[in-house]
Amino acid sequence: MISVTNLVINRDQSIRQCLETLDQTGMSILLLIDENGSLLRTITDGDMRRLILAGASLDDDLFGLSDKAPVCISLNMVDDEVLALMDMHEINQLPQVNENNQPIGLHLRHMLRPRVQLSIPHMGEQELIYVKEAFDTNWIAPLGPNVDAFESEVAEYVGSKHAAAVSSGTAAIHLALRLLGVGPGDSVICSSFTFVASANPILYQGATPVFIDSEPATWNMSPVALEKAIISCVSKGRKPKAILPVHLYGQSADMDAIMEISEKFDIPVIEDAAESLGGLYKGRHTGTFGKFGIFSFNGNKIITTSGGGMLVSDDVELIEKARFLSTQARDPAPYYEHTEVGYNYRMSNVLAGIGRGQLKVLDDRVQARRDVFERYRNGLKEFECLEWMPEPSDDISNRWLTAVSIKPGYGVDVPSIIKALSDENIEARHLWKPMHRQPLFSGCVYFPHSVELSLSDYLFETGMCLPSGSNMSVSQQQRVIDELSKLLNKGRHG
Ligand SMILES: *Cc1c(COP(=O)(O)O)cnc(C)c1O
């Protein structure tokens, strides 16, 4: 914002003075105020030109100007709102006024910094074509050709035999648990380092989660802690009904080790691949190792349908049952007959159209997010305190969000960095707060990676995610890197 002291002018002043002020300040706009200092209108070169062409002389005052209430910025508007207002009125400068309508500053477009967000939707070119098709054929109702096509396209993309499109990733997890017969009193093993949506459906079924820590190699479910947990549950006569590992921030968990334990104890796996669509474990897509895999198309994910999810499995009967349960479990009868509890979980044909378009650009989005990660790592490589989320050499993470931890003892802590970035209009966030530390799950058992190390606790306390959208510009990312460098240097030098 620039100061208005040299830009205010009142009606007593002459056209000449007005033109001279414009000349001296090098600005293309002045602010006309009344005797109370309240803003009447803005004045431009063009306004002066029109007065003169209408017969005014250079020494005439400004009473010839009509009142023209200007578009103004109110006191508490943030840069993004100001930019939106400028876009709406197609102008590059706007005065800001206080509660008495007195100008307190002038905002210029090039000085504004839009918020750099963590992860926002990034549409391709074909989404609208599929959505339009749905409109043109009036397939607005749930189900329809886009849903069928989206299911088979996702199944083919990830290399799973079958898929059911549903209203959210959470719904997909819920259906998977239901299909495995998880019910009241059962135990389900779940990653602790995750978003609450992984574990909530366990509660929907009246079951109890048993939380497992992460391991250093992947920051995901520790196979060591997993085996310990199963042995402990079995010894108490409560063999877990399912294992729910999460592929956080796009990086796969160690699926060989987890599947080996799953087979050894004969407990099915549901992979929460909500964040890892497009990511590979040893060349194979995450979400295709367990009995079930789930994906999310929520607005912040790597591709989105604005809201949606997918349940995948090689078992056709289970997927068909999922479709049945997600459409109110209606029995095959000429009237509405029901013998089981069902849900309204199906994805709509309109949203599936968005998904089909998004799937076409998924590989580009993965590459873009991986590039974002590499630019951060490169741009900040001088800072030894940074520990980037690992990626085992056989895997390809989709790098949904760039996750980094700051080793303690370097004089910088994550909460103050997140706050300082936010003050610069940059959105960074804490890594997920582990489930075993959530009040919601206060009574649940937790198995750390080892006696010495609870990695999920460490990562929560020292880690953050940086803006990682695939549509973030290189210059926006440079802004983040520059701000972070400043903050980390401050820490380094006290
Ligand atoms: C987003 C997310 C979910 C839930 O997906 P929704 O589509 O938002 O219901 C589940 N698990 C993880 C790890 C997620 O990040």
Q: Is 298 in the pocket of ligand 1 (CB under 6 A)?
A: yes
Q: Is 249 in the pocket of ligand 1 (CB under 6 A)?
A: no
For 194-238, how does the pLDDT look when each residue is reduced to its tens digit (9 = 90+)? Answer: 999 999 999 999 999 999 999 999 999 999 999 999 999 999 999
Integer angstrom CA distances of residue 146 from 128, 327, 342: 12, 17, 23
Residue of 195, 204, 221, 310 with the most ligand 1 atoms within 8 Å of its CB, for mutation: 195
Mean pLDDT per 10-residue segment, the chain (494 residues)? 87 91 88 92 91 91 86 86 89 91 90 88 93 89 89 98 98 98 98 98 98 98 98 97 98 98 98 98 98 97 97 98 97 95 96 97 98 98 96 98 94 94 94 98 97 97 97 93 94 70
Residue of 118, 119, 191, 198 with the most ligand 1 atoms within 8 Å of its CB, for mutation: 198
Compute the distance from residue 370 Cα to the ligand 1 centre, in Å: 20
Residue of 154, 170, 174, 190 with the most ligand 1 atoms within 8 Å of its CB, for mutation: 170
pLDDT at 494: 59
Residue of the CA atom closest to atom 14 of ligand 1: 274
Burial 186-216 (b: 16+ CB within 10 A, else e): bbbbbbbbbbebbbbbbeebebbbbbbbbbe
Reduced to 3 states (helix: H, G, I; strand: E, B; else coil), residue 398 is coil
pTM for this prediction: 0.85
Residue of the CA atom closest to atom 13 of ligand 1: 195
Tell me the DSSP string of 17-58: HHHHHHHHHT-SEEEEE-TTS-EEEEEEHHHHHHHHHTT--T
Integer angstrom CA distances of residue 428 from 116, 194, 422, 464, 481: 9, 17, 7, 7, 12
Compute the distance from residue 336 Cα to the ligand 1 centre, in Å: 32
> For the chain, what is the mean pLDDT?
94
pLDDT at 438: 98
Ligand 1 closest atom vs CA 298? 7
Residue of the CA atom closest to atom 11 of ligand 1: 198
Ligand 1 closest atom vs CA 194? 13
pLDDT at 327: 96
Ligand 1 closest atom vs CA 248? 13
Q: Is 309 in the pocket of ligand 1 (CB under 6 A)?
A: yes
